[in-house]
Amino acid sequence: MPLTETQSAILALIAERIDAEGMPPSQTEIARAFGFKGVRAAQYHLEALEAAGAIERIPGRARGIRVLQPPRPAQAELAFTPNAPNAAANDDHALRVPLLGRVAAGLPIGADNAGALEADDYILLDRVLFAPAPDYVLRVQGDSMREEGIFDGDLIGVHRTRDAHSGQIVVARIGEEITVKLLKLGKDAIRLLPRNPDYAPIVVKPDDDFAIEGLYCGLVRPNTSRLSR
């Protein structure tokens, strides 16, 4: 599973501190560096890094972290290019993807209130930075997915599908409302989990008009014009 932007940044911080000081940062220092409210978020990202094979944590040893996968260099910048009908025609690595509207990373917002977008609104994406390839892009509103490196104003790539597994980040519809959340499939209920402790999970009721609209597969941050998986 590819690392989120936040996890890549934490990995870079760990490698930098080991190189400069001979030891990694503590969970408290990681939390402070990234603005987390507590060490629980830092611990979550360290677990994710270990599961991805990027680090090894040594049991019973303070600050016992070994880097197994060198941090990736920062991605090259790619311009945010709306309304470019033929710009991708000569680039085998570029995808011309429609920008369809807004999606809430917070409480769901109505698709009808997202603001009208012209049919010729497109952006260019580097296909090698997204997995799977996105079918369209939505603009994020809110910060409930910040611990996954998804922030207010980001443009997220969405791979259109009705199928998703528990633990994947999905774009989901409840009635006329659209939201991006972590999908959790239980025996008795479907929950849409935020990745910010300030927000409560959304529990899908049996009689709700619910559907998975697609899988999150990467993002564009317009203010920096950088791509992230």
Residue 142 CB coordination number (10 Å)? 23
Catalytic one of 37, 144, 187, 228: 144
Task: Give 229's pLDDT tier (boundaries 50, 70, 90).
Answer: very low
Domain ranges of the chain: 5-67, 94-228
pLDDT in tens, 75-131: 333 334 444 443 333 455 678 888 887 777 665 554 433 333 343 477 877 776 677
Q: What is the pLDDT of residues 153-173, one digit of tens each?
A: 888 889 989 988 888 899 999
Q: Which of 26, 166, 181, 205 is labelled catalytic? A: 181
Superfamily (CATH H level) for 94-228 = Umud Fragment, subunit A (2.10.109.10)
| Global pTM value | 0.57
| 211 CB burial (10 A radius; 0-12, 13-18, 19+) | exposed
Neighbours of 18 (CB within 10 A): 16
CB environment 85-124: b (16+ within 10 A), e (fewer): eeebeeeeebbbbebbbbbbbbebbebeebeeeeeeebbb
> Nearest to residue 177, comparing CAs of 107, 98, 99?
107
**What single DSSP character describes residue 205?**
P
Query: So what's the architecture of 5-67 in CATH?
Result: Orthogonal Bundle (1.10)
Say whether 144 is catalytic: yes
